Chains A and B, each alone.
Chain A
Amino acid sequence: EDKVVQSPLSLVVHEGDTVTLNCSYEVTNFRSLLWYKQEKKAPTFLFMLTSSGIEKKSGRLSSILDKKELFSILNITATQTGDSAIYLCAVEAKADKLIFGTGTRLQVFP
């Protein structure tokens, strides 16, 4: 059965800290891996990764995929309170559906 596992489940840090969120997967017919940020509303798209070893960056966020070891990491540097959210990892497998992990709940305190 296709599976996406995120760790840690929960993370509490202070502003300015750097965090690394992990996502490992076992799916058939891997197509892409996506990261979303979910606050009290819809998940918002962050990154799509399809190739190993190519880092994607957006401001203080960056992500990279390892298709050999079947995992991805999401890094957030110099965290701010506005980064507090649930970060969802999803893998697109066959039939165009996304398989989500349970998310990592990040809380950033001032």
Chain B
Amino acid sequence: NAGVMQNPRHLVRRRGQEARLRCSPMKGHSHVYWYRQLPEEGLKFMVYLQKENIIDESGMPKERFSAEFPKEGPSILRIQQVVRGDSAAYFCASSPSKGPFATQYFGPGTRLLVL
């Protein structure tokens, strides 16, 4: 059973470009979470999605950031008009269900560098 997959693993963008980060959850998992890890900081929650629904986006900046988890295909985190402060590692996690005992399993992360 493959783990959570993220691609690309490394992404370099110039200021003003768009960044698209993909996350394929573990087989059988329908809950996806995105986290951001800034240099020297802990992981910070961004958004929680189920298939075709955004459940909680309280940690996601209101502008330039969006996320989706379509019925078919991976979850996408999209950052428009990237700025240097967006440089970070973006981790996706998935879980098989909702609730207090559903462990989240993490992907390898996408390291975004904005020049």
The answer to whether A102 and B42 have CB atoms under 8 Å apart is: yes
Interface assignment of A96: CB less than 8 Å from any CB of chain B: yes
**Inter-chain contact B41/A99, CB cutoff 8 Å:** no
Scoring A34, A41, A102 by chain B CB atoms within 10 A of each residue's CB, the highest score goes to A41
Q: Would A42 and B106 be within 8 Å (CB), given that A96-B31, A97-B33, A100-B42 are in contact?
A: yes
User: Nearest Cβ in chain B — how far from A3, in angstroms?
Assistant: 11
Q: Which of B43, B55, B58 has the most CB of A within 10 A?
A: B43
Q: Is A88 interfacial (CB 8 A cutoff)?
A: yes
Q: How many residues on A have C-beta within 8 angstroms of the other chain's C-beta atoms? A: 24
CB contact list, A74-99 vs B, under 8 A: 88, 90, 92, 95-99
B-side interface size class: 20 to 34
Closest chain B CB from A65 CB (angstroms): 13
B108 touching A42 by the CB < 8 A rule? yes
How many angstroms from the CA of A42 to the CA of B35 in the assembled complex?
11
- Judging by beta carbons under 8 Å apart, are A42 and B55 in contact? no
Kindly supply a per-residue 1/0 record for chain A positions 30-44, scoring 1 wherever the CB is within 8 Å of any chain B CB and 0 otherwise: 011010100001111
Within 8 A of A (CB), among B51-99: 55-56, 58-59, 91, 93, 95, 98-99
Identify 14 new A-B residue pairs, CB closer than 8 A, beyond the known A43-B106, A45-B105, A98-B35.
A32-B100, A32-B101, A34-B103, A42-B91, A42-B109, A44-B106, A48-B103, A50-B101, A88-B43, A96-B31, A98-B43, A98-B45, A99-B45, A100-B44
Chain B positions near chain A (C-beta within 8 angstroms): 4, 31, 33, 35, 41-45, 48, 55-56, 58-59, 91, 93, 95, 98-109
Chain A residues packing against B (C-beta within 8 Å): 4, 31-32, 34, 36, 41-45, 48, 50, 88, 90, 92, 95-103
